[in-house]
């Protein structure tokens, strides 16, 4: 049986010319395992990121939504376990907004757990020979904003929604920061999708 996955990566932000999440998503094949992939680049803007994905999902009616984001400083591919109801970052989004101690959804639950098998994803990535670890913090920037928005919107439904952070690409990494090659990131994402 064939399924449809909406898979997203972010536009560049913070002065970077590229974002490894979108570079990797673009490079993936159109079909992985039982999933036909529909790819979407997402703006690094609070609120608009989630709105963009939900609008596309309403059209394509996917069986799963997997979002990919950049995590500078991380050396492993990290599936996210939880999204919190908080916007709080010391850098502005791409619209110039710097959020401090703001809820994503007024009166919404404090947090949601991913509806994808996070531990199984981590194990599949490790079996592919790529460093991977479960993360319990997607931060409080636009990555977390997007995951929380999706989990809130689809709460109580059969939709599988999840988020994976990937390290910087080697050309982005400065001053000894950890990085991972594009091929390795793509292999990690391939393994993650195959195990669903």
Model pLDDT for residues 124-169, shown as the tens digit of each residue: 999 999 999 999 999 999 999 999 999 999 999 999 999 999 999 9
Decide if pLDDT at 74 tops 80.
yes
Average pLDDT for the chain: 97
| Encoded tokens for 184 | 């390795």
Query: How do the domains of the chain map onto residue ranges?
Result: 3-194
Residue 179 has pLDDT above 90, yes or no: yes
Catalytic (active-site) positions:
80, 143, 165
In CATH, 3-194 is 3.40.630.20 = yes
> pTM of this prediction?
0.98
Residue 11 CB neighbours (<10 A)? 17
For residue 89 the two structure tokens come to 């970052």
Average pLDDT value for residue range 41-48: 98
Q: What is the pLDDT of residues 24-40, one digit of tens each?
A: 999 999 999 999 999 99
Per-residue confidence at 111, pLDDT binned at 50, 70, 90? Answer: very high
Does the pLDDT of residue 1 top 90, yes or no? no
């Amino acid at each position: 049986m064939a399924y449809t996955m909406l898979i997203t990566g972010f536009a560049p932000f913070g002065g970077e010319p590229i974002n490894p999440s979108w570079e990797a998503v673009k490079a993936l094949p159109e079909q992985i395992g039982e999933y036909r992939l529909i790819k979407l680049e997402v703006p690094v803007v609070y609120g608009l990121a989630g709105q963009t994905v939900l609008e596309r999902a309403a059209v394509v009616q996917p069986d799963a939504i997997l979002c990919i984001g950049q995590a500078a400083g991380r050396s492993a591919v990290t599936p996210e376990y939880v999204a919190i109801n908080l916007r709080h970052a010391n850098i502005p989004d791409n619209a110039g907004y710097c959020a401090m101690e703001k809820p994503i959804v007024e009166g919404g639950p404090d947090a949601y757990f991913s509806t994808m098998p996070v531990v199984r994803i981590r194990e599949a990535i490790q079996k592919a020979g790529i460093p991977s670890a479960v993360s319990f913090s997607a931060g409080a920037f636009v990555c977390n904003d997007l995951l929380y928005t999706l989990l809130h919107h689809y709460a109580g439904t059969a939709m599988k929604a999840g988020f994976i952070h990937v390290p910087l690409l080697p050309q982005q990494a400065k001053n000894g920061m950890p990085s991972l090659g594009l091929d390795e990131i793509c292999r990690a994402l391939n393994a993650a999708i195959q195990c669903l």
